[in-house]
Amino acid sequence: MPEPTEVVSSKGTQEIGHEGEAAVVEALPELPLTSNHRTVTETIPHETEEIEDATILKNRREIAQEGKDGLRTIEYEDYLLNGKVEASKEISRTEVEPTKEIVKVGSLVKTKPTVEITNLIKEESKKAVAVNYHLDDPTSAFVKAKAQIYQNGTLVKEVNLKDPSAQQTIDGLDYYTSYNLKTYLTYNLGQSDQESTEVSTKDFQLDYKKIEIKDVDEVGLYGKEDGHYRRYLNLSEVPSDLSPYFVKVKSDKMKEMLLPVSSIKETDDGKYKVTVAFNELVQEKGSAYKDNYSFTVDKQKLAKDSVYTSFKKLIAAMQDNLAGTFKLGADMTADEVALAKGQTSYVTGTFTGNLIGASDGQPFAIYDLKTALFDNLTKATVKDIDLKAVAIKSQEDTASLAKVATNSQISNVAVEGQLTGSKSVAGLVAKAQDTEISNSSFTGSIQAKHTDASPYYVGGIAGLLSGNKAKIDKVAVDASISSNARNNDQFAGGIVGKVQSGALVSHALASGTILNTTTYPRVGGIAGSTWQNGRIHHVVSMVNTGDGYAITGDQYMGADIKDASTTVENKKADLYATSITQDQASEKVQSYGMTVTLDDTGQTLKDNQRSVDYTQLSQGQASRKVAYHNIEKLMPFYNKELVVHYGNQVDPTDKLYTTELLDVVPMRDNDIITDIQANKATINKLMLHFADNTISYLDVTYKEDFKNTQIAEYSVAGKNFIFTPEAFLSDYTKVTDQVLADLQGVEYDSAAMRRVLGIEADDSLDPLYLDKEFEKLKANIGEHLRKVLAMDKSINTMGDSVATYISEKIKNNKEAFLLGLTYLNRWYNINYDHINTKDLNTYKFDFDGSSTASTLDTIIALGQSGMENLKASNNISAYETTLAPAKGRKTVTDLLESYRKLFLPTKTNNEWLKTNTKAYIVESKSEIPEVRAKQESATPDSNYTLGVFDRITAPSWKLKNMLLPLLTLPEEDVYVISNLSTLAFGGYERYRDRVNNTVLSGEELRQYVRAKVDQSAEWQRDHYDIWYHLLSPEYKEKLFRSVMVSDGFGMKDSNSKYYWATLSDKAIASIYNFFGPTGKWYGESKGAGAYANGSEVHYVSDRLLDKYGTSVYTHEMVHNSDGHIYFEGKGRREGLGAELYALGLLQSADNLDKDAIVLNTSIKGIRIH
């Protein structure tokens, strides 16, 4: 655009109206003239207005309306002459008005916002809290905020609060931790962000007390099918009716649980989810808890040709084709098949085919065998299979795989479980002829309860192995074996009972224990015998064989035994054993090349296992491992965080901090309580049994029931923790209503009882000596039953299916149940001064810390163990074969002594027995100082001891079975005299004399007999003191022995009438309560006063406690002592009879007025000549 030029203007002289005339008159020269259009714009400045605004920070300006300049536009027409503007003419003019700028000028002064915590909701199961806030920010100074969690003043967690108006969840918290919730605020007052911690805070702690199943070794689904109960390892579909089902949970930390099923659902991964639901039960999932408890069961696989997934179908197929080939396609349970009465194998007849426990490279297991899988294997093959949870009881040829195997191949077979038999018992095969068993193992227990003298064989792998082709190679056994071998045809070995006829045991490891209830020697860590031509090569024995040998039970020279080693020092030295270290043994065993294992099957069962390491929890402390274990014992049902919480409060000086508990026993004063429900409010004391074999006590007070009402809680005096018994509360009416009538209807002397005992219809039950106790127990069976149920399981109180299962077990075994219960009540009703242990012995099988034994099952098994086992006189072997596995002590003596050490640690066994038996015991110490000193300082195993307990439990004493009858005498009707050489026993009824025309009875009889016992004990003592003076030192020592003296069984009835009582005489208390149960009896020898047999003295018509009886005593002990002691080994003079010395020379006078030349070695007094 050209620059604008100034307007040129001039003033005309032409008159108005005559314009232009001069141009006409006066001619002008013509010039070129042009025009140009031009536009000119001009800015019109805008104005600015300021307005005060109270919503804007002071000194801050904010443009409310932006200012805009106006615009003026002028249009011109320029006239140019010769390119020069000669004139311009404005054509138009337009304007755009300017816009005023409005500026807000702030006058606001900002204030700090506040955040208040208005509500905190604990979500314990999620380990979280939900928090609500209120933000007060009138001047909009809020920028952001954080929730901060403090523990003991230390920041442990921060969460951004994106929207303070929304509820905020803070998770990842710990239980039983004191927290402080604060809010960290960021705000801005105009210049820059500022930060501060808000005044509003909240203290909180998440307390969580729920029922949690913390330790699970095995969980299984059980139910009733075709009239019998079974386990389900898999399901083909969801059951339409759940009422027959229940869940069994096993743990090594708690007693078994029986729980009702609430639901079963199929899962996305091809399994079934089984759920148990009851009030307050939870299960941890991830970092939180959810209600109820669940586990999985496999879905049953489809069977293929010769591949089976059902035990029932497998057995049917093998039975149908004994020569076929069969494979397992899944883990399976033998519970599918109900055994007929007397059935001793699942597959009967001779199996000549092949059983392979693997398919597609995956091995499988058969669970729950109740008898041998095969009756007879001949030219058969069995391989690659596990037999787990075996529980077999049989009368003869008891084994898990086969009773008999001939010319067969058995390889890679692993067995785990328990076997009990009356004759030959073995882990895999009872009798193997020309059969090879390789790369196989047995783990578990074997009990042989043989009752007669016929041959039997007990072994971890095989009972009897024979034949040149027979071989056991690359095998391992870890077992607890008990037997009662008593002659040359009865054998027990860790690997095999007997190996003979060229058979070979090689590359074998045996570990565990073998307890033989007799001292018979045919017991070996590897084999009971190799006679004849048995071979043992390259073996290691780690077996404690008691009175047996490390390798083989028969120690003849020249046996084919090579490279046999042991790590155990047994009582007897083995000719063929080389002692090696544990490391050397491990190296040897590794070289054997065994690959057999139990770990390659049962994966789903393993997946369901649960365990807890309290030290690894967030608040766990490694140094408090023992304390956590003990708190768990004191409150077994609650969640692990509560255990840690209480465990962290145990004082380091408390024994609960340093020593593991084995058991916790509720008490009322000095009474042991087993029926928790009936005595809940009166329990006031706990007995703590520690692993160091000590006990202590805590006072407790009933506090309340837990929320689900089945757990009783107790406050513990002086402690910060609580106690809950390991038993859900119940009166068990669901069970008792179903079984009491059946139990009350059982008759002791009945055909049904004889069937259970395995005796004939005309056999007597008298040798049991249980009839009186049976009637007493049956009269209070409801009380006894509740105790059994309360102690049997930790939880068995919920669900009709559980009650029905228990009820049917009791009803189906009612005779055995009552018999076993009666036996325990009778023979284990034992006092330790102020503590009676009957309930501890009868109902509580976890006192030693083991939770595996079932009270109900043990009682039934005891009742089913047969007449021979239950005879009172066999109480020693009955304990060792039937009760020891449940009680955790090998022998009766071990059990009783362990209790004595706990309850009466300052007393000896003898002092305890003497003060707790109702027998009258006199221990007559010598008056010779050196002898008395020996007697008073004697150890229990010394020949010098006078203690009755020590003497009747000594290895040389034949009647160890008298200990329980002595301890459980219901009344004082037996006496015992113990002196340097003899141990005398007699019954009070023998002295039921008529004095002052009155037959002695009751307390008068007791005082009368005691006085006679005291006097006789002195006479006997004095007799041996004289002989001690007479003998040389060597033969003085031979006087220290235990010759049994029996006062005879010529008794007097209540009218003082004499008769010779029998062992079935229930009217004579000393026989019924002591001599009968001991089995000590002999018939009346007419015309005999007494007699000796070289090792004992039997009184007949004469009475030991009479003055003349003492003279007879010295007479009979001449017979038992003359040649080898009194005559110092020189024997009697040749040609002279025994009576010359006993009657003619050495018998002591019976009174001081005797008109004869006789010795007086017993009666003190003054004789006037």
> Is omega for the bond preceding 609 within 30 degrees of 0, making it cis?
no
Q: Name the pairing type of β-strands 48-57 and 523-524.
A: unpaired
CA distance 312 to 337: 6
Residues 344, 371 contacting (CB under 8 angstroms):
yes
Instruction: Write the burial class of residue 940 (CB in 10 Å: 0-12 exposed, 13-18 middle, 19+ buried).
Output: middle
φ/ψ of 617, rounded to 5, equals -70, 165
Give the pairing type, strands 527-529 and 578-579.
Answer: unpaired
Q: Which residues are catalytic?
A: 1116
User: Which residue, among 404, 496, 393, 395, has the nearest Cα to 442 in the 3D structure?
Assistant: 496
Question: What does 315-335 look like in DSSP terms, one character per residue?
Answer: HHHHHH-TT-EEEE-S-EEGG
> Which strand (E) or helix (H) includes residue 695?
strand 695-705
Identity of the residue numbered 680: K
Give residue 232's region: left, alpha or beta (phi > 0; psi -120 to 50). Answer: beta
Residue 1102 CB neighbours (<10 A)? 20
Q: How many CB atoms lie within 10 A of CB 322?
A: 17
Retrieve residue 1027's tokens. Answer: 């002989």
Amino acid identity for residue 392 in this structure? I
DSSP string, 600-648: TS-HHHHHT-B---GGGSTT--GGGHHHHHHHHHHSTTB-HHHHHHHHT
Which tokens is 882 given? 């039937």
H-state helical runs in 248-365: 311-320
> How would you class 1097 by CB atoms within 10 Å of its CB: exposed for 0-12, middle for 13-18, buried for 19 or more?
buried
Pair type for strands 358-359 and 409-421: unpaired
Residue pair 734/780 in contact (Cβ under 8 Å)? The answer is: no
Amino acid symbol at 980: L
Q: What are the structure tokens assigned to 224, written together? A: 């009733």
Residue 160 pairs with which residues in a beta bridge?
146
Q: Are strands 271-276 and 263-266 parallel, antiparallel or unpaired?
A: antiparallel
Strands of the 712-716 sheet, one edge to the other: 671-672, 661-668, 685-690, 695-705, 712-716, 722-723
Distance in angstroms (rounded) separating the CA atoms of residues 586 and 812: 48
Ramachandran region, residue 118 (left: φ > 0; alpha: ψ -120 to 50; beta: rest): alpha
Identify whether the C-beta of residue 264 lies closer than 8 Å to the C-beta of residue 238.
yes
d(CA 673, CA 12): 145
The length of the chain, given as a count of residues = 1169
- Comparing C-alpha atoms, which of 777, 796, 784, 774 is closest to residue 854? 796
Q: Which of 439, 442, 444, 443 is nearest to 429 (CA)?
A: 442
The set of long-range contacts for 1128-1137, using a CB threshold of 8 Å and a minimum separation of 24, is 1128/1031, 1128/1032, 1128/1034, 1128/1035, 1129/1035
How distant, in Å, are the alpha carbons of 144, 162, 198, 618 from that of 147?
Answer: 11, 10, 10, 22
Angstrom distance (rounded) from CA 288 to CA 410: 49
Whether the CB-CB separation of 145 and 115 falls below 8 Å is answered with yes
Q: What burial class does residue 1106 get, using C-beta atoms within 10 Å of its C-beta: 0-12 exposed, 13-18 middle, 19+ buried?
A: middle
d(CA 724, CA 314): 47
Q: Is-contact 1020 1162, C-beta < 8 A?
A: yes
